[in-house]
Chain A
Amino acid sequence: MAEAAESPGDPRTTSPRPLMRDLKAVGKKFMHVLYPRKSNTLLRDWDLWGPLVLCVTLALMLQRGSADNENDGGPQFAEVFVIIWFGAVTITLNSKLLGGNISFFQSLCVLGYCILPLTVALLVCRLVLLAKPGPINFIVRLFVVIVMFAWSIVASTAFLADSQPPNRKALAIYPVFLFYFVISWMILTFAP
């Protein structure tokens, strides 16, 4: 219906254009992640734009410059990208193999969107790192990362837990914990 009514220059068009509609949907899902309560929105209208944006942001900020001659540096862009998507796919496969009744893309959508708190943590850490380095700097970053890590876990559990068989919930949730823990570690050890 929005496509049919599309006329770029017409001020009387009341229905939003597809781009605005998609952006609004992504924004609504971000809000659902930030204030997690049991709702079906993330599952029903899944999309992968939000996870893609978050993943690219994370990978861009975490990567080391190629001019670095340190071989044992931080992750490259491709490594972060692969870890996030490969990790999300593995967790989804795991939950489906255990007998969960969630679709493949719904699960990817939830896992991707719940990286949002950790992306916020990375931005905060980046700002904090502009200040004087030292143990207080580190403690602040540690605190922020721990809080955001817990937030991610709570958000993703709120969305994913219901679709698992009841006697295997812990088996399905543990890989999510490991996934966000590894991402949190990458954020915490980030040194520009």
Chain B
Amino acid sequence: MAAVDDLQFEEFGDVATSLAANPDATTINIEGPGESPKRPGPPRGSGREEDDELLGNDDSDKTELLAGQKKSSPFWTFEYYQTFFDVDTYQVFDRIKGSLLPIPGKNFVRLYIRSNPDLYGPFWICATLVFAIAISGNLSNFLIHLGEKSYHYVPEFRKVSIAATVIYAYAWLVPFALWGFLLWRNSKVMNIVSYSFLEIVCVYGYSLFIYIPTAILWIIPQKAVRWILVMMALGISGSVLAMTFWPAVREDNRRVALATIVTIVLLHTLLSVGCLAYFFDAPEVDHLPTTAVVPNQTVTAAKSS
């Protein structure tokens, strides 16, 4: 068909040969002074090279194109949800590392997520956190009350479902509220930086990672140790969140911007302190005298082991 023939790339060949063929034709030298052919491959016409550049030889252009083409499946197909799990192992590790080491000035979303938000990290970090808190809380209560005559160990299985509800609600509802709020502010004040809902969920999910080792260390029945751990975890994950969302509210009214950041950090504090208070019994100081006064068989057995 004539239409298909029209679509074939035309080989223009060398400038010299085409000028020799048609001396009257005008030729334009497009190549810049320092420019050299990007790929030393098979000889191609200058027209071809131009097209290659336009098609995105550049890596960033290519990823922009691909990112735009990624989520094209309708939402009722399985492929649509596969795009949210399009991460490799090293990418997940990089994102976790980024959430643990907040560098001032580096935005977590721009640096690590780069328009490829994943749901793998948030989902499994929250699942691990649920079980870490429930199991550590159970273990810590057992160790604190060890030796008490009236204490009967229970696995406290109900607390797993409570922990799951709280943590998954936090990981999804707070990003939703924040996204809605930022959308509303965006309609009033033109912000340079705006995040999609999934990117916010991603940041929140990865920022909860620091609480997994914190929950395990909360087994130590010392009040001072626990509160130091709370401060450290809050410092790290709070700063990740603050540095991520500050560029999104920076152009806004000063008070609104500060209030947003303060609310984000405050909700984070509420989550960690609430979990500490509910799942971990307070280590009372008067445990020691009671175990010394009552010579319990289990205490002596535990001490001799």
- Interface residue ranges, A against B (CB under 8 Å): 70-75, 79, 94, 96-99, 134-136, 139, 167-171, 174-175, 178, 181-182, 185-186, 189-191
Contact = CB atoms under 8 A, between A and B. Distances in A.
Interface of B: 78, 81-82, 84-85, 87-90, 92, 120, 124, 127-128, 131, 135, 138, 153-159, 298, 301-302, 305
A57 B124 CA distance: 28
Nearest to B158: A72
B132 to A, nearest CB: 10
B211 to A, nearest CB: 16
A70 B138 CA distance: 15
Contacts of A190: 155
B305 A135 contact: yes
Contacts of B88: 167-168, 171
A135 B302 contact: yes
25 contacts: A71-B158, A72-B154, A72-B155, A72-B157, A73-B157, A74-B154, A75-B155, A94-B85, A97-B82, A97-B85, A98-B85, A98-B120, A99-B85, A167-B89, A168-B87, A168-B88, A168-B89, A169-B89, A171-B88, A175-B127, A181-B131, A186-B155, A189-B138, A191-B153, A191-B154
A178 B132 CA distance: 10
Nearest to B303: A135
A59 to B, nearest CB: 13
Contacts of B82: 97, 99
Contacts of A70: 154
**Interface-central residue, A99, A171, A182, A190, by most chain B CB under 10 Å:** A171
Contacts of A139: 305
A190 B128 CA distance: 21
Contact of A73 (B87, B89, B155): B155
The list of the 6 closest CB pairs from A to B, nearest first, reads A135-B305, A97-B85, A189-B155, A72-B156, A167-B88, A170-B89
Given A135-B302, A185-B135, A178 B128 contact: yes
Contacts of B89: 167-171
A79 B156 CA distance: 13
Contacts, number: 71
Contact of A72 (B92, B159, B298): B159
Nearest to A181: B131
B77 to A, nearest CB: 12
Nearest to B154: A72
A191 B128 CA distance: 24
A171 B155 contact: no
B103 to A, nearest CB: 25
Given A97-B85, A178-B128, 17 more contacts: A72-B156, A72-B159, A75-B157, A94-B120, A96-B78, A99-B82, A135-B302, A169-B89, A171-B89, A175-B127, A178-B127, A178-B131, A185-B131, A186-B155, A189-B153, A191-B153, A191-B155
Nearest to A167: B88
A79 B87 contact: no
A27 to B, nearest CB: 33
Contacts of A169: 89
A171 B91 CA distance: 10
Contacts of B127: 175, 178
A74 B85 contact: no
Nearest to B131: A182
Nearest to B142: A189
A99 B305 CA distance: 49
Nearest to B138: A189
A72 B120 CA distance: 31
Nearest to B153: A191
A136 B301 CA distance: 9
Contacts of A98: 85, 120
Contacts of A174: 124
A186 B153 CA distance: 13
Contacts of A191: 153-155
A171 B96 CA distance: 13
A105 to B, nearest CB: 16
Contact of B124 (A99, A175, A185): A175
**Interface-central residue, B89, B92, B124, B298, by most chain A CB under 10 Å:** B89
Nearest to B121: A171
